Amino acid sequence: MKTFYIETFGCQMNAHDSEKVIGTLVGQGLSQVETPEHAELVLYNTCSIRDKAEQKVFHRLQQFKREAGKGKVFGVLGCVAQQEGERIFDRAPHVSLVCGSASYTKLPELLVQIGSGSKRVTGLSLDTEETFETSFTRRDNPHRAYITIIEGCDKSCAYCVVPFTRGPERSRTSDSILREARELADMGYSEIQLLGQNVNSYQDPSPAGWDFARLLREVGAVSGLRRVRFTTSHPRDFVKDIIDAIDENPVLCNHVHLPVQAGSDKVLTGMQRLYTRDDYMRRIEWMKNSPRNISITTDIIVGFPGETEQDFEATLRLLDDVEYDSLFSFKYSPRPNTAALGLADALDEVEKGRRLSILQEKQRGIQLRKNSELIGNVEEVMIEGFNKATLQWIGRTSQNRTLNFVAPETAPLQTGQYHQVLVTRAGPNSLVGEMVH
Ligand code: SAH
Ligand code: SF4
Ligand code: F3S
């Protein structure tokens, strides 16, 4: 095999995993191509968080089924691979390789087996002897880099597959993280995003024994870095010291993604989220009291089994109380292996859909109002690209807002640069402005 194609679904952890897979395969002498048609090896790095995400993969695999007879090799990586294991061979018999995220270091070996005639190979052990070795990673953005600081999850939210697809929680040593951050800064990356299912559960396994806030302070102090972000934080493990660290150092972006999932204590208990609405609101207060004007975003699930109209209304009230800068919202999707799977009082899809659109409509109003308040401000953006259709540059603020802007034609702008932009208009999902300098 000489060429491969990879398509990635799911979260940033998966996106970063694909960068590692690409680096590994390129190290084996394969080259990446842009279409499955031109590849000898076709890989899907999959997500299993909701049923729709899982179905998408099997749909993709059906599309190219006939090509399998012509020598093309198909592989399923990531969370569906870990969850379904060898059952994938039954559901899609033309697949030859099934490998979960903890086994990517075994990919070269698995490819050798396929090369020598094996029809079905797997890497499915949830290897907790993680090395976090990353020297081979091929990052596809030259300015912003992901760094994994913690893998897996030790929580057991009743709806969630992640503890099964990614295994138990394991933190990487602080010196290994700092070494990578310094290397990236030396290579010219100005933004680092620290990744983990629950980054703030980080516990340094080395004798230094840092917690997440300490790690954040140290990464924020790496010379050459201009922005440090982190995602995702779990409310239970979210301590005030994280906000203090952000207050102390402008390199730490003023944005916290703190998934709440629901606004009713009854539903939070059913979900096994390990905090109450009051606990959560205390954390929100810390952020609201910060001089940094921290933007707050969240994830919400509507229609968890047993969610009554009153419970749902409690979630809507929470939206008013917090005034999120943005949120991701989902209809509850029953998932294999999870505790909620067997719960009674499941809501039908129509009702879940109704609640989702009410929630999204409400949030749209909040975002429009909050974004409009920024008109007249000057914000620093990092340039992410240029939109040829609108002739606007695409920028991102420290608060993680998209700010599209125009600049004089003579200005030699490039992605990765930082500029000051005056906000002139606001929509619910983005801002528009003009470059100041
Ligand atoms: N570790 C993060 C979340 C990771 S999954 C945390 O605990 O906050 C990303 C989001 O997917 C979750 O926050 C949740 O809102 C959503 N999600 C997870 N399982 C789901 C399910 N079964 N149905 C619908 N949404 C789900
Ligand atoms: Fe899933 Fe809960 Fe772990 Fe987040 S904390 S990954 S929602 S089990
Ligand atoms: Fe999906 Fe796995 Fe991420 S289930 S959201 S790709 S951890």
Domain coordinates in residue numbering, the chain? 3-125, 130-372, 378-435
pLDDT tens per residue across span 201-252: 999 999 999 999 999 999 999 999 999 999 999 999 999 999 999 999 999 9
Give residue 304 CA to ligand 3 midpoint distance, Å.
19
Q: Which atom of ligand 3 is nearest to the CA of 48?
A: 4
Q: Is the CB of 165 under 6 A from ligand 3?
A: yes
Q: Is the CB of 10 under 6 A from ligand 3?
A: yes
Q: Is the CB of 152 under 6 A from ligand 3?
A: no
Q: Which atom of ligand 3 is nearest to the CA of 12?
A: 3
CA 266 to chain centre: 27
Q: Which atom of ligand 3 is nearest to the CA of 14?
A: 6
Give residue 300 CA to ligand 1 midpoint distance, Å.
8
Q: Is the CB of 79 under 6 A from ligand 2?
A: no
User: In this structure, is the dihedral angle defined by the CA atoms of residues 413, 419, 424 and 426, taken in order, positive or negative?
Assistant: positive
Coil/strand/helix, residue 204: coil
Residue whose CA is closest, atom 17 of ligand 1?
49
Nearest ligand to the CA of 340 is 1
Q: Is the CB of 333 under 6 A from ligand 3?
A: no
The CA-based dihedral angle spanning residues 355, 356, 359, 360, taken in that order and rounded to the nearest 10 degrees: -150
Q: Which atom of ligand 2 is nearest to the CA of 234?
A: 5
Q: Is the CB of 257 under 6 A from ligand 3?
A: no
| Residue 130: predicted pLDDT | 62
Q: Is the CB of 80 under 6 A from ligand 3?
A: no
| Residue 129: predicted pLDDT | 62
Question: What does each C-alpha distance from 428 to 163, 371, 373, 425 come to in angstroms?
Answer: 34, 7, 12, 10
- The token duo for 224 is 């050459």
Give residue 330 CA to ligand 1 midpoint distance, Å.
8
| Residue 71: predicted pLDDT | 81
Give residue 102 CA to ligand 3 midpoint distance, Å.
13
Give residue 352 CA to ligand 3 midpoint distance, Å.
22
Query: 3.20.110.20, 3.60.20.10, 3.40.50.12160, 3.40.50.720: which CATH number matches 3-125?
Result: 3.40.50.12160
User: In this structure, is the dihedral angle defined by the CA atoms of residues 267, 157, 16 and 202, taken in order, positive or negative?
Assistant: positive
- The token duo for 292 is 């940094």
Q: Is the CB of 236 under 6 A from ligand 2?
A: no
pLDDT tens per residue across span 127-184: 666 667 777 788 878 899 999 999 999 999 999 999 999 999 999 999 999 999 999 9
CA 235 to chain centre: 17
Q: Which atom of ligand 3 is nearest to the CA of 53?
A: 1
Nearest ligand to the CA of 163 is 2
- How many of the other CB atoms lie within 10 Å of CB of 210? 21
Q: Is the CB of 13 under 6 A from ligand 2?
A: no
Give residue 160 CA to ligand 1 midpoint distance, Å.
6
Whether the CB-CB separation of 25 and 4 falls below 8 Å is answered with yes
For tokens 């039908």, the residue is 348
Q: Which atom of ligand 1 is nearest to the CA of 161?
A: 19
pTM: 0.96
Coil/strand/helix, residue 170: strand
Of 53, 308, 45, 302, residue with least CA distance to 159: 302
Strands 170-171 and 150-151, bridge-based pairing: antiparallel
Q: Which atom of ligand 1 is nearest to the CA of 261?
A: 15
| Residue 226: predicted pLDDT | 98
Give residue 413 CA to ligand 3 midpoint distance, Å.
35
CATH code of 378-435, in short, is 2.40.50.140
Query: 3.80.30.20, 3.20.20.70, 3.40.800.20, 3.90.700.10: which CATH number matches 130-372?
Result: 3.80.30.20
| Residue 141: predicted pLDDT | 86
Ligand 1 first shell, C-beta below 6 A: 49-50, 159-160, 162, 197-198, 232, 234, 259, 261, 299, 301, 330, 332-333, 335
Give residue 120 CA to ligand 3 midpoint distance, Å.
24
Residue whose CA is closest, atom 5 of ligand 2?
155
Residue whose CA is closest, atom 3 of ligand 1?
197
Angle at 429 between CA 409 and CA 380, to 5 degrees: 50
Whether the CB-CB separation of 162 and 49 falls below 8 Å is answered with yes
| Amino acid in position 277 | R
Residues of the chain where predicted confidence (pLDDT) is lower than 50: none
| Residue 126: predicted pLDDT | 85
| Residue 64: predicted pLDDT | 79
